[in-house]
Every structure is written in structure tokens, then in C-alpha cells.
């Protein structure tokens, strides 16, 4: 989502931040700016005929930086011939050619695309004999010193606050070493390894002291799931419980985040506690809702003392008196509640669902209502979701199809052959290995049939379900390709064909393997191509199974009765391959998707009730997309 309010960047608003923090509108902007900083360092050192030593990280966070550096190399001639690199960490034990190794990841995503000398690349070796790891780690430290020390160290941050693999409890003086991974870290990595059981329990990592010896440190974080730990690392105390907090002691450490990862910083969450703010209608609403929830009083019961005691006197002076301010915010929130009869009728509606179940999980109640109101409701399933089907479920379903064919004397020979080939592959499959194309197709069909069943349940005709199978997803792995014109063309052509008045887009960033983010990127790029006649009247953003919008962000809330919520849950049940225990539930929540949806929808209604608004059983919430 693009913020409607500007990012507050003055010194007064950074008063609680103990690390220099730059908040960008999105991860793309942050990646480009950080890549430019690195490029400037390389260019400057090349001009002095000296090497540039970079400390590098892996994963979804820095990949945008690497892609921009590759572009600068190809289009602007950025020369990497004198660059020396040292990677932060590597799983142990792991072969360098494993699809999960950081060694392979770095070459596929960066080194193979620039003119860096292979001898200048240093990545911890996951195959060193166990009894030689200590000697190896000391040698790694010596190699860094021999190179002249690290000029720029690039970091991500884990939910435990780890930098590299320096888990909670890591000492400020720790150097490169073997560590045991925290259970939270292993759960976070489970999606990459197709299950937590396949994640190595140990890793080799640079130490905290190793990182702090770099001349400049840049930590990056994107997405609302990183907001709590960013707040602790930037505004909290220095503690070994959050290894990233040690960066506060570095003379040249900085943090680069998008708005979502910054949302719990004081200047973003409640900036009026720090200084004078511009009291726009949105800021007024944010402050009044915050005050209501802080005091435990409904909006219309807030009084002058509440505002004075919570540093909101300036708001009253500008937007008061108190009673009128309360009523204005209350009415605005009341207007977000869209009753059954207030929804449009007779229009075309298109919901983009990144995976085959995001539509019903996130807005199944709303889609059902829109369909019952006589609207033409379409759903575009952007990816197959095949990697989220377990091998056991695939075997179960193909056995059923084979037995069905045999029972009706259909082409049982071919189906038996397919079953034999699929079973042979799955039985010889190594942990985390990508599926064969044949298995991927089987799993894709499973997800499609489930999605069609859910559409029927919501009253959406089967021929209104479009399975786009965007190319970026077709890797057979958790890690995906970047969005290209091929993806954008598919989305654009569908919009032009349907000409929807309303479009719904997954607007959250907490999806554990980034598919929601990439799908949103493709949709927004497609919308920019649309003419005025082709462009929808409204683009609504919904959130998926991981989080809900904050009450001050919500522009449309659809109330659901207990029966409607139950009906939605039954729609979620149509996705049997994701039932009981989904393969990729995300690292933040062990509950099933239907349980999360139920809790999220009822909690949204409960917050509205706390604010003094009408009480409903549940609510689905949406934000209207605004492009700055």
C-alpha cells in the first residue's frame, strides 16, 4: 500500500530513534537508493585504484539491491572487477550446489550477472568437517582483515532480531562461528525448505563483533511483519536479546525500511508524542482512534482531560472543540460500515487472488454478498499454488483418479502410468527438491478444483474464474522470478477484457514467500497501462491470512453475521489440500487459515465496538488504493 500521509522525517520526529533510519515509500525505492550508495562506494574506490570490500546478505530483503546493481553494471558500466565480497552466513551442513545453499543463491542472483572475479567471492563453507569448523571460522576472519576490512556491510533482520545468524543471546564480542538456529528462525525458513523438518539446525555466521568492525553498516527490512523487531532494534535498549540493537553502538550504522516495516516506530505510530504535526483529517482520525483505544473509552466519551493528559491539546486547539472532533471522527468511521443494501449492484467486480485460496480467506463474505447483489463477480487466480500441496495429498488424489477411471472402465492404463511415474518421483525425491513438471501439474489441478468449489460456494460461476498462472511463479520452488512484461501483459489483458468497475488486490506484505507482493506489483504496473475507459473506478486493497488493516486505515468495512462468517469458513474448507496443516502457514501463526480468518474478522468487529460503533459479529476490511 502507498501511504496517503507523508513520512515525517524531521529531527524532532526521530528523537526516540537510536539508529539513523530512512523510511521509504516501498521496498523498490529503498533498494534503488541503497544500491546507489554501494555503487558510489565502488566507483569512488575504483577511481583510487583500491578494492571495495562488501559484506553481503541473502534472501528476499537484499535481492532488490542486487538486481539494481546488476542493472547499473549492464546499463551504466558499474565495474565489479575490484570488488571483494564476504557473505554473512551459510547453513550447516549443506553442499554449495544445494538449491537451498546461500552459495548457490548468491551466484544465481548476483555474482553470475556482474564481472566479479570468482577468487574475490567468499561465502562460508557448509561442507567443512565438524571438527575443523573452529579453524575455518578463524581463517574467515583473517581473510576479512587481509582484504582491508569491510567497507559496507549489508544486513537483513530476522523476527528474533538476529543479524546474520546471531540469535538472541549472541555476545557483542562474538566472531565468526558455528551456531544453533533458534526455533523461530527455523520456522521462518521452513517455506524455503518445504517444511521445518528439512531446515538445518546449525549455521556458520559472522559474529556481532565481525559485523560491527565494518566501516559502514546498512540494515534493510520490508513488510509489516518486521515492524515489531525494527521498533525494538531502533528505539529499544541495547541487549543481546536483540542482536541488531548492538548496531546502536556503531558510528556509521543505518536502517532502511519501507513504510510497512516502520509502522511501529513512534514517528509513524503516534508522531504527536514527539512534535507538532499537520492535523490532516487522516491524522486526526489516527490520533482520536489511538486515544480511544489507549484510554479504553469509546470515541464519543472522550473528554478534554483525555486529550490534555495524552499530549493531544494541539489537536483540540486546531480541530476542536472536543465534542465536535469526536463526532466528526465517529461519523467518518460510521460511514466506512457498508450495509448489505449499500453495496453496488449490476457492476463487474474483479478480485485478484495471488494463491487459489486468498479470495475466500480474505474476503469470502464480501464476494458472496457482491454475487448475491447481482454483480458480475470474477476471480483471477494469479498463481497455481502448486508448491503448497503436500506430496502425500498429491498421491492420495492421483490414486483416487486412477481408481475412478478403473471403476468406470476409462483409460486406466494411462492413468496408472501417470500414478506410477508420479509415485516413483515422489518416493525418490530429496527433502526440498523441486517437483517434476508432471507433479507440478498434478498439484496445480488439485488447487484449481478446490478454487472452483469455493467459487461455487460463494455464488461465482465457474466460467468467471480465471487461472492466470503468471510466469514469475513457475520455478517449482519457493523463490520466485522477478515480475516481467510477460506477467504484466497477462494481467492487463484480463482487465481490458472484463472492464471491472471495482478491483480487489491483496495489499499486505506478510506473505511468507513474497508472492502477494509480486502479484500486487504486476497488477499496479498493468493498471498504469490502462486508459481512462479501461481503468477501474475503485481499487480496493485487502489483507490475507496474516494481518488486518489498522482501524484508522480502513475505508470500507463489510459487516458479517454469524451465519455469513460460518458460510465463509465452509468456503475455506473447500481447499482441502490446505486443511488441518497447510504446507506454508507462515512463521507467525500455527492456526489453520479458517481459524485466522475467523479471529481476524471478529477482532475487527470488536475494535469497532470498542470505539463505540455499532456491534457486529464480524467484519471484512478494505483500504482504498491511493497513488501519490
Element (DSSP H or E) covering residue 618:
strand 618-624
Q: How far is CA 590 from the centre of its chain?
A: 17
Number of helical (H) and strand (E) elements in the chain, helices listed first? 20, 17
230-247 residues labelled b (16+ CB within 10 A) or e (exposed)? bbbbbbbeeebebbbbbb
- The total of other beta-carbon atoms located within 10 Å of residue 422's CB is 23
- As a dihedral over the C-alpha atoms of residue 424, residue 428, residue 429, residue 430, rounded to 10 degrees, the angle is 180
Strands (E), 323-374: 348-353
* Cα angle, residue 355 at apex, residues 351 and 356 outer, rounded to 5°: 80
Name the residue among 429, 430, 431, 405 with its Cα closest to residue 416.
405
Name the residue among 539, 514, 543 with its Cα closest to residue 524.
539
Q: Which residues are CB-neighbours of 606 under 8 A, at least 6 positions away?
A: none
Name the residue among 164, 140, 148 with its Cα closest to residue 83.
148
Instruction: Give the span between the Cα atoms of 351 and 370, in whole angstroms.
Output: 11
Q: What are phi and psi of 591, to 5 degrees?
A: -75, 155
Selected catalytic residue, list 17, 68, 141, 167: 167
Length of the chain: 628
Q: Is 409 a catalytic residue?
A: no
- Give the residues across from 56 on adjacent strands: 87
| C-beta of residue 556 within 8 angstroms of C-beta of residue 336 | yes
Scan for cell 464480524, then name that residue: 618
Report the half-sphere exposure of 169 (CA within 13 A, side-chain side): 4
- The total of other beta-carbon atoms located within 10 Å of residue 253's CB is 22
Q: What are phi and psi of 219, to 5 degrees?
A: -105, 135
| C-beta of residue 243 within 8 angstroms of C-beta of residue 163 | yes
Instruction: Give the span between the Cα atoms of 259 and 148, in whole angstroms.
Output: 36
Instruction: Give the span between the Cα atoms of 619 and 394, in whole angstroms.
Output: 35
Between the alpha carbon of residue 614 and those of residues 335, 412, 508, 552, the distances in Å are: 11, 59, 27, 16
**Residue 572 grid cell:** 475455506
Give me the active site residues, please. 167
Amino acid at each position: 500500500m502507498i501511504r496517503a500521509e507523508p513520512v515525517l522525517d524531521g529531527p524532532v520526529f526521530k528523537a526516540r530513534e537510536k539508529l539513523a533510519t530512512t523510511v521509504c515509500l516501498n521496498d523498490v525505492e529503498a533498494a534503488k537508493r541503497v544500491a546507489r550508495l554501494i555503487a558510489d562506494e565502488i566507483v569512488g574506490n575504483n577511481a583510487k585504484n583500491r578494492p571495495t570490500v562488501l559484506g553481503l546478505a541473502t534472501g528476499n530483503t537484499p535481492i532488490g539491491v542486487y538486481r539494481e546493481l546488476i542493472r547499473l553494471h549492464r546499463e551504466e558500466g558499474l565495474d565489479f572487477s575490484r570488488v571483494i565480497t564476504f557473505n554473512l552466513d551459510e547453513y550447516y551442513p549443506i553442499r554449495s550446489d544445494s538449491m537451498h545453499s546461500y552459495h548457490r543463491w548468491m551466484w544465481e542472483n548476483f555474482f553470475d550477472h556482474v564481472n566479479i572475479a570468482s577468487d574475490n567471492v567468499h561465502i562460508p563453507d557448509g561442507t567443512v568437517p565438524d571438527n575443523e569448523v573452529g579453524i575455518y571460522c578463524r581463517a574467515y576472519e583473517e581473510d576479512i582483515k587481509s582484504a582491508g576490512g569491510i567497507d559496507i556491510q549489508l544486513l537483513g533482520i530476522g523476527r528474533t532480531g538476529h543479524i546474520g545468524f546471531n540469535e538472541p543471546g549472541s555476545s557483542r564480542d562474538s566472531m565468526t562461528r558455528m551456531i544453533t538456529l533458534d526455533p523461530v528462525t527455523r520456522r521462518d525458513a521452513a517455506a524455503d525448505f518445504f517444511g521445518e523438518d528439512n531446515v538445518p539446525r546449525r549455521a556458520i555466521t559472522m559474529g556481532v563483533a565481525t559485523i560491527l568492525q565494518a566501516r559502514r553498516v546498512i540494515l534493510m527490512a520490508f513488510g509489516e511483519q518486521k515492524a515489531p523487531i525494527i521498533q525494538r532494534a531502533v528505539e529499544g535498549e541495547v541487549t543481546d536479546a536483540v542482536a541488531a540493537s548492538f548496531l546502536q553502538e556503531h558510528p556509521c550504522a543505518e536502517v532502511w525500511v519501507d513504510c510497512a516495516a516502520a509502522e511501529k516506530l513512534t514517528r509513524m505510530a503516534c508522531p504527536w508524542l514527539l512534535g507538532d504535526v499537520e492535523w490532516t483529517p487522516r491524522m486526526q482520525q489516527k490520533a482520536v482512534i489511538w486515544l480511544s483505544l489507549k484510554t479504553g473509552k469509546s470515541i464519543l466519551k472522550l473528554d478534554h482531560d483525555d486529550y490534555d493528559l495524552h499530549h493531544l491539546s494541539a489537536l483540540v486547539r486546531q480541530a476542536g472543540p472536543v465534542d465536535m472532533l469526536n463526532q466528526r471522527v465517529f461519523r467518518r468511521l460510521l460511514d466506512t460500515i457498508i450495509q448489505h443494501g449499500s453495496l453496488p449492484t449490476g457492476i463487474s467486480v474483479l478480485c485478484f487472488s495471488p494463491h487459489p485460496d486468498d479470495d475466500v480467506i480474505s474476503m469470502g463474505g464480501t464476494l458472496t454478498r457482491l454475487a448475491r447483489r447481482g454483480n458480475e463477480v470474477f476471480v483471477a487466480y494469479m498463481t497455481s499454488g502448486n508448491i503448497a500441496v503436500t506430496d502425500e495429498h498429491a498421491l492420495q488424489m492421483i490414486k483416487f483418479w486412477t481408481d475412478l477411471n478403473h471403476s468406470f472402465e476409462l483409460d486406466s492404463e494411462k492413468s496408472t502410468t501417470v500414478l506410477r511415474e508420479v509415485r516413483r518421483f515422489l518416493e525418490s525425491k530429496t527433502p526440498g527438491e523441486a517437483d517434476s513438471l508432471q507433479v507440478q501439474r498434478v498439484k496445480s489441478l488439485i488447487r484449481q478444483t478446490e478454487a472452483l468449489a469455493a467459487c461455487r460456494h460463494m455464488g461465482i460461476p465457474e466460467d468467471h474464474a480465471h487461472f492466470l498462472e503468471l510466469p514469475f511463479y513457475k520455478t517449482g520452488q519457493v523463490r520466485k522470478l522477478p515480475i516481467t512484461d510477460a506477467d504484466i501483459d497477462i494481467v492487463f489483458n484480463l482487465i481490458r477484457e472484463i472492464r471491472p468497475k471495482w478491483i480487489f488486490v491483496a495489499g499486505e506484505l506478510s506473505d511468507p514467500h513474497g508472492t502477494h507482493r509480486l502479484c500486487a506489483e504486476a497488477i499496479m504496473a498493468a493498471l498504469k497501462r490502462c486508459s481512462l475507459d479501461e481503468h477501474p473506478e475503485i481499487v480496493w486493497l485487502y489483507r490475507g491470512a496474516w494481518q488486518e488493516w489498522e482501524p484508522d486505515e480502513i475505508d470500507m468495512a463489510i459487516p458479517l453475521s454469524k451465519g455469513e462468517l460460518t458460510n465463509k469458513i465452509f468456503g475455506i474448507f473447500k481447499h482441502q489440500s490446505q486443511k488441518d496443516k497447510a504446507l506454508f502457514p507462515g512463521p507467525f501463526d500455527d492456526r489453520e487459515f479458517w481459524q485466522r480468518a475467523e479471529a481476524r474478522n471478529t477482532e475487527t468487529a470488536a475494535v469497532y465496538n470498542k470505539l463505540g460503533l455499532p456491534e457486529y459479529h464480524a467484519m471484512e476490511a478494505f483500504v482504498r488504493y491511493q497513488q501519490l
